Structure 1
Amino acid sequence: MSGDELRERHMAATETVNTLRDRLKHKRRLLLDTDVAGYARSQGKTPVTFGQTDLVCCRTLQGHTGKVYALDWTSEKNRIVSASQDGRLIVWNALTSQKTHAIKLPCAWVMTCAFSPTGQSVACGGLDSMCSIINLNSHINKDGNLPVSKMLSGHKGYVSSCQYVPDEDAHLITASGDHTCVLWDVTTGQRTSVFGGEFQSGHIADVLSVSINRSNSRIFVSSSCDSTARLWDTRVASREVRTFHGHEGDVNSVKFFPDGNRFGTGSDDGTCRLFDIRTGHQLQEYSQPSDDNEVRHVTSIAFSISGRLLFAGYTNGHCYVWDTLLAQVVLDLGSLQNSHDNQISCLGLSADGSALCTGSWDANLKIWAFGGYRKVGWSNLVDQGPTRRLIVINRRPARLIGLVEPGRPSGRPDSQRGGERRGKARGREELAREGRKVSAGDGESGVWGKELQPSAVPGCLLPIYILTLTCPTGQAQQPTYQPKKTNKCPGRQYALVGRLIAINRRLIGRPGFWSSWSGRTS
């Protein structure tokens, strides 16, 4: 067969493939007669309101000397690990911005990192085609570095993504440029299962990202340069459960929706998409038109703890906050103060959903806190019964709650009106130790009441915290004092007399915060 005949047959086959692809797209459009946003609008749903003070940059983590490629939070939400082009893993204290570990890696070209569920070890991988396990509690070697405790070797291409199986440190899933995903036994260092690459199944290009279903750890989803995402069951490695089409470029990031029945993707085609694993259909596309007709690639995505918000990082340095219900951009972090100077390469949400961390090619990480400098909630004691309830709705959990009793300047609770006294507030250290305990604002005031408990409300975007104060006498007293404004507290907060107030914890550590209240209870 001559070369001309081969070219003609190749062109004919390519034309046939393109025709079949167009027919498939048409069939999918016929099946998808509506999307999530269209249905939500028909039901009269309103968009999320998000101001520029609702999500603010409260920390900038500086320490890397190269591009930041990956990050991960611990389950206890106070530590972050980041991997950079400088060949180092850094473990950060997210509350103090201090480095707890700076680990020099055997291979400088690291592309991914992940905390174990217990937070005792870190996994990382890159262009060396291996996944390294580092025990953070091990002794440093003679070079002053933490040694690698286990090397998982078996991939034939670079390791692009890794994630521990939830609730255990014994198993890990990696994605690789050899078109496969691998389930590892970390204890033995052996491969348990290989997904794809054989029997004409799996991805046909580099696998870029994996995400494990937290409600069913046997299920995970992978994304690839073949423009698809594939659903896998660890019990059946020979073939994927389902393949999801729709993207027209490399799928760089994949993340399960909080309920485990859906997942989101971010792609080089500039779109994010939401898929349903039960039906195999695309539920929604999230795309923002560009002013300069330049496609902005999506590099990383993450969902809020309720799933109502989708955070997407782009190559132009922007991070859009999408309303997943109405497919609208409610905030652009790139337009805020202290935003990144280069493309966002990775992002992740803390375990409790109270903070977002972004990593960039500008070698910095930034922590964005919900709430900012604003009053987050207060309520009258209006319940007509033996209990009094304060409902605080806040994007960041409220940490400081105080009660001023009328006629008692020191703020000590009256046994006929308040609750059980718990001690004295001593400032930031006391709150860090007390956690979500109810506490008064100055050194003379008492700490009393119940612990704040999160309450899951269906359809509610924000976490709700309910405080119950029990009146021992069974008689609810109505407050007689009105709130008084004060300019002494930074951030336009309020000092309330005879009422309850929740104040963003971020203000507590400011110099002079406690003295600025001059004996008032906050």
Structure 2
Amino acid sequence: MIVHGFASLLGSRFTANAYLPEGHTNWVTSVAFSPDGKSVASGSYDKTVWMWNAHSSPPISEPLRGHSYSVWSVSYSPLGNLIASGSGDKTIQLWDINTGYQSGILQGNKSFLSVAFSPDAKLIASGTSGFSFDPTGCPIQLWDVQRRKATSNPFKGHSKDVRSVSFSSDGTRLVSGSYDKKIRVWDVGRGVTIVGPLKGHTDGVRSNAFSPDGAQIVSGSFDRTIRLWDARNGGLIGQPYEGHTGWVRSVCFSPRGIYVASSGNDKTVRLWDIRTGRQVDQFKEHTNYVTSVAFSPCGQYIASGSFDRRVIIRKVLGDESYSDGGSASRMVTSHMV
């Protein structure tokens, strides 16, 4: 069944592509699950944000239009009422989930490459573009969601594009990853680096995230590796995870922190057990670079977005369902174009 560019594949394997006029018309750059797991937001190079029903055919609304350049990052508010989208047009736009209308604009002076809500939904962190010769660097900014304005001076330290920002679960720390190959942990209240910069990647850091308990950080890099770090002292935990044959573009923890999902230029989504450092599953449905991955809040689904213009939601086994010894059966549940 194909409705509005969404092919429902419950109970079957996806075997053919279907491209309709509806849906993204260019690369999908970012995906995010809603807090209740019922919907997925996707941002695209086509300047739009879409909201999809995670478990049935039609999109939730018409595309959210307002950006004048590519959407690089999307994030759901933990309250479930807003989506934030960061764009190359130097704005973060806030969208009301219930009405589908824009409810605010945060204006910057550089492209917004990454956005993330704080756990209490009161703040948005943003990472921006830039180069080493830029005297202002590539700052990270905190924004007051209610007042729709910057809350403090920018956090400065990175010398190249900041492609990923993520809050700890208690909201007191922020982790950032940059094309300068470094990862920094910031004190949210003071705006200073408290751990790092973490050094080890040999190419730009494209994605990073705190574990649910805040004790670890996972990072993915253009050097094709995934690394696990101690969030308190910045030490590398174990050996780098190797397996991707192209740039690693996105990483995220499962809700209970047992697994890491990753995606990259090799067109795959991979699942890793952090207890062993071993890959336990691999998905090959996409036909181009996979730019973004996200776990559902229940941990049973992974959404991914790709240069092939598709968003795919696949069912995976739960946080405790993979044995240490190998991979498990899985099923693609939804395919959106």
Q: Could you state the TM-score of these two structures normalised by the residue count of structure 2? A: 0.75
CA contact (8 A) 1:171 1:186 kept: yes
Q: Tell me the number of residue pairs that the alignment of Structure 1 and Structure 2 aligns.
A: 270
Give 1:148 deviation, angstroms. Answer: 5.3
Kindly indicate whether the alpha-carbon contact (under 8 Å) linking 1:252 and 1:300 is maintained by their aligned counterparts in 2: yes
Give CA deviations for 1:150-178 in whole Å, capped at 9, x if unaligned: 3000112211100111122x321111111
Asked if structure 2 preserves the Cα contact closer than 8 Å seen for 1:233 and 1:241, the reply is: no
The alignment status of 1:282 with 2:279, answered yes or no, reads yes
Q: How does 1:7-22 map to 2 (within 5 A)?
A: none
Q: Matches of 2:77 and 2:206 in 1, distance apart?
A: 22
Asked if structure 2 preserves the Cα contact closer than 8 Å seen for 1:255 and 1:265, the reply is yes
2:93 maps to which residue?
Answer: 90
Closer/same/farther in 2, CA of residues 286 and 151 from structure 1, 3 Å limit = same
Q: What is residue 223 of structure 1 aligned with on the other side? A: 220
Larger radius of gyration: 1
What amino acid maps onto 1:135 in structure 2?
D
Amino acid at match of 1:163: S
Is residue 314 from structure 1 mapped to residue 314 from structure 2 by the alignment?
no
- 1:306 CA drift (Å): 2.8
Q: Give structure 2 stretches of 5+ with no counterpart.
A: 1-8, 15-52, 131-137, 318-328
Higher helix fraction (1 or 2): 1
> In 1, distance between residues paired with 2:87 and 2:245?
29
Q: Does residue 49 of structure 1 match 2:11? A: yes
The C-alpha deviation readout for 1:461-493, integer Å capped at 9, x for no partner, is xxxxxxxxxxxxxxxxxxxxxxxxxxxxxxxxx
* DSSP 3-state at the match of 1:57: coil
- From 140, 147, 152, give the equivalent of 1:149: 152
Aligned pairs for 1:159-178 (under 5 A) are 159-168=162-171, 170-178=172-180
Residue of structure 2 equivalent to 1:11: none
1:262 & 1:155 partners in 2: Cα distance? 28
- Structure-2 residue corresponding to 1:206: 204
- 1:127 aligns with one of 126, 129, 132: 129
SS at match of 1:150: coil
CA contact (8 A) 2:72 2:86 kept: yes
Aligned mate of 1:116, from 114, 118, 140: 118
CA distance, structure 1, for counterparts of residue 280 and residue 150 of structure 2: 46
- The answer to whether the aligner puts 1:323 opposite 2:320 as a matched pair is no
The question of whether the paired residues in 2 share the 8 Å contact of 1:90 and 1:101 is answered with yes
Higher relative contact order (CA 8 A, sep 6+): 2
Structure 1 gaps, min length 5: 1-46, 141-145, 291-295, 335-522
Task: Give the whole-Å Cα distance in 2 for the aligned partners of 1:239 and 1:305.
Answer: 27
1:261-272 maps to which residues of 2 (within 5 A)? 261-272=258-269
Deviations 1:486-517 (CA, angstroms, capped at 9, x unpaired): xxxxxxxxxxxxxxxxxxxxxxxxxxxxxxxx
One-letter code aligned to 1:49: G
The within-5 A match list for 1:337-352 is none
In structure 2, C-alpha distance between the alignment counterparts of 1:165 and 1:308, rounded to whole Å? 22
Amino acid aligned to 1:89: I
Which residue in the other structure is 1:424 paired with? none
CA offsets 1:104-124 (integer angstroms, 9 cap, x no match): 1121x2210111122122111
* Distance in structure 2 (CA, Å) of the matches to 1:281 and 1:90: 39
The CA RMSD measured in Å over matched residues stands at 2.2
Letter of the 2:157 counterpart: G
| Structure 2 residue 188 is the aligned partner of structure 1 residue 179 | no
- The answer to whether the Cα contact below 8 Å between 1:134 and 1:150 also exists between their aligned partners in 2 is no
Query: Which residue is equivalent to 1:512?
Result: none
> How far apart, in 2, do the equivalents of 1:115 and 1:288 lie?
30
Question: Which amino acid in structure 2 is aligned with residue 207 of structure 1?
Answer: V
Contact 1:48 / 1:323 at 8 angstroms: preserved in 2? no
Say which SS state the counterpart of residue 236 (structure 2) adopts: coil
Q: Which amino acid aligns with 2:210?
A: I
Other structure's SS at 1:83 match: strand
Q: Partners in 2 of 1:190 and 1:137 — Cα distance? A: 24
Q: Distance in 2 between matches of 1:304 and 1:154?
A: 32
Given residue 11 of structure 2, which amino acid in structure 1 is its aligned partner?
Answer: T
Distance in 1, Cα, partners of 2:215 & 2:80 = 24
After superposing the two structures, state which structure 1 stretch, 298-307 or 223-232, moved more.
298-307
Contact 1:195 1:239 in 2 (8 A): no
Matched residues in 2 for 1:147 and 1:164: separation?
17
Q: CA deviation at 1:63?
A: 1.3
3-state DSSP class of the match of 1:56? coil
SS at match of 1:92: strand
Identity of aligned residues (%): 27
**What is the Cα deviation at residue 125 of structure 1?**
1.2
**Aligned-partner Cα distance in 1 for 2:89–2:267:** 28
Q: Report the 3-state secondary structure (helix = DSSP H, G, I; strand = E; otherwise coil) of the residue aligned with 1:151.
A: coil
CA distance in 1, matches of 2:246, 2:196: 25
Q: d(CA) in 2 for partners of 1:267 and 1:118?
A: 30
Contact 1:221 1:229 in 2 (8 A): yes
The alpha carbon displacement at 1:90 in A equals: 0.8
Counterpart selection for 1:192 from 191, 194, 203: 194
Structure number having the greater strand percentage: 2
Deviation at residue 66 of structure 1 after TM alignment: 1.2
Amino acid at match of 2:307: T
CA deviation after TM superposition for structure 1 residue 195, in Å: 4.5
Alpha-carbon distance change, 330 to 206 in structure 1, aligned in 2, over 3 angstroms: same
Deviation at 1:330, TM superposition (A): 3.0
Code of the residue aligned with 2:122 in structure 1: it is Q
Alpha-carbon distance in structure 2 between the residues aligned to 1:236 and 1:171: 13
